[in-house]
A = this chain, B = another copy of it.
């Protein structure tokens, strides 16, 4: 009997929302041929990853198996699905497949990293398929908040898998293909071994709303505006950008796109035929010279990102354009948890200028791109899989999704990052725990999340830093007193003397009393100087700083 198996191994995206990377394999244990679905990034924050530019999944396991990797398939062009493609191209070297719009974005990324654009192959939608080793993969169009999102139909010698990617059920999405119930039913007809299913909105109990429901509301709002109108949304939500632009056009406004991502996404949509019409746009220079009531800006920065167009406008002027009292700013977007502070800062800055800010207002000007619980269940029911493996969710989302399955009598499998699942076992089991994690793009280099680099930064941010300098001569006698420099600590402590003076005095006392043996022992001396500095600072200012000790020995 053959012992080939089908495996599923999330390296990112299962147990978190972000940096999706799902490995599928087929073959004898340890010798499976592999494909990778999506290779995305996630974004750093000051709490956990200060100074980091981008967070990538740790793909060490895949690098070791790169000779088995047949191909990478990208479901859609959101950063959490495509963002790491170019960063890891050199390591993995596998061909990348995507539909035209996604490929357009992926190729731009390849180009920016100096990789060949032809590394990305454009694929036609299901029922066309791509062969990759033992796999045959088809891109089944599915509605989401970006054009040409696809569920992947992954056929293996032991059965069919369906990987939904991100999706919602929208039969009138504005741009791109409507959700096709019949197609998914057909895909499931002959049996599906496992459905890997989006879990993002599993806690939303009501049926999801169509993208088309926001158009009339946006149109009404823009039509009623007196001054300049600016609106922000995710640039990749091309349907929304079109809705906004059309609302502006109907209200007699010229459309001005601001922010690099905004222009790029519309460009890509037009190049790939996703958008066949879009209102004529004007440059910021031209917009500046039009009457305010004839201008509509569509800008990046819906999440309050500091360098994006919305933040710049809130700060004052951006590309020569300034919002003033009586203008309107619309967040046609939802704030992702964790980004609240940045968004609120912008709202208050606009309020100070006198700009009226309108937010999504409980769904009036925004709808989610993910399936709510009832829609997730529709997907289960259309495909009728032998098991559901929830993905694209934090642990609580995956667990809830499993509970829903179990309540319906479908087998739900909870698999988080690093769990290598044997899907063809009688009961799907974790066959191996693979080490996964995060890799930081930090400036121009990559560092492991657990390397301690970022930990040291966090410690300096919390505790401040002291440099201690001691010079010893060839006889281990101190030349002069120890010398300190502080950064990120109060200058004066409880004794009302400068903190530096107190530290230097305490260190001098130690050095003067220390025996030759201690002074000669590099590690011991280092430890003692650090200990005294921390203790002395604690007494003075109530903080134990990070300490760099430099002992120079003249020989």
Contacts and interface: CB of A to CB of B under 8 A. Distances in A.
Interface of A: 15, 45-47, 50-51, 337-338, 340-341, 344, 347-348, 350-352, 354, 357, 394-396, 399, 442-447, 451, 453-454, 456-458, 460-465, 467, 469, 471, 479-480, 483, 485, 487-494, 538, 540-543, 546, 548, 550, 552, 554
A53 to B, nearest CB: 8
Contacts of A347: 394, 396
B487 A541 contact: no
A51 B543 contact: yes
B541 A445 contact: yes
Contacts of A538: 443
Nearest to A492: B445
Given A444-B542, A463-B51, A467-B467, A337 B348 contact: no
A347 B337 CA distance: 13
Given A348-B396, A487-B546, 15 more contacts: A46-B46, A46-B461, A50-B461, A51-B464, A348-B395, A350-B396, A351-B394, A442-B490, A444-B494, A445-B490, A446-B490, A460-B487, A467-B548, A469-B550, A471-B554
Contacts of A483: 550, 552
Nearest to A17: B344
A72 B457 CA distance: 41
Given A341-B47, A344-B394, A394-B348, A493 B460 contact: no
A357 B203 CA distance: 11
Contact of A352 (B395, B492, B552): B395
Contact of A487 (B344, B445, B491, B548): B548
A526 to B, nearest CB: 11
Of A338, A347, A396, A479, most B-chain CB atoms within 10 Å: A396
A386 to B, nearest CB: 24
A464 B488 CA distance: 13
A293 to B, nearest CB: 21
A490 B455 CA distance: 12
A490 B453 CA distance: 6
A488 B460 contact: yes
A384 to B, nearest CB: 27
This protein's copies in its complex: 2
Given A341-B338, A456-B488, A442 B543 contact: yes
A45 B480 CA distance: 41
A464 B46 CA distance: 13
Contacts of A469: 469, 550, 552
A366 to B, nearest CB: 16
A354 B414 CA distance: 12
Contacts of A541: 442-445
A207 B543 CA distance: 47
Nearest to A462: B51
A548 B545 CA distance: 15
Given A344-B394, A357-B396, A543-B51, A461 B464 contact: no
Contact of A46 (B47, B337, B451, B494): B47
Contact of A488 (B348, B457, B490): B457
Going nearest first, the 7 A-B pairs with the smallest beta carbon separation are: A443-B542, A444-B542, A461-B461, A457-B488, A443-B543, A337-B340, A50-B461
Nearest to A444: B542
Nearest to A487: B456
A425 B347 CA distance: 31
A485 B46 CA distance: 24
A315 to B, nearest CB: 15
A226 to B, nearest CB: 15
Contacts of A45: 341
Contacts of A489: 453
A548 B468 CA distance: 11
A273 to B, nearest CB: 38
A207 to B, nearest CB: 16
A51 B453 contact: no
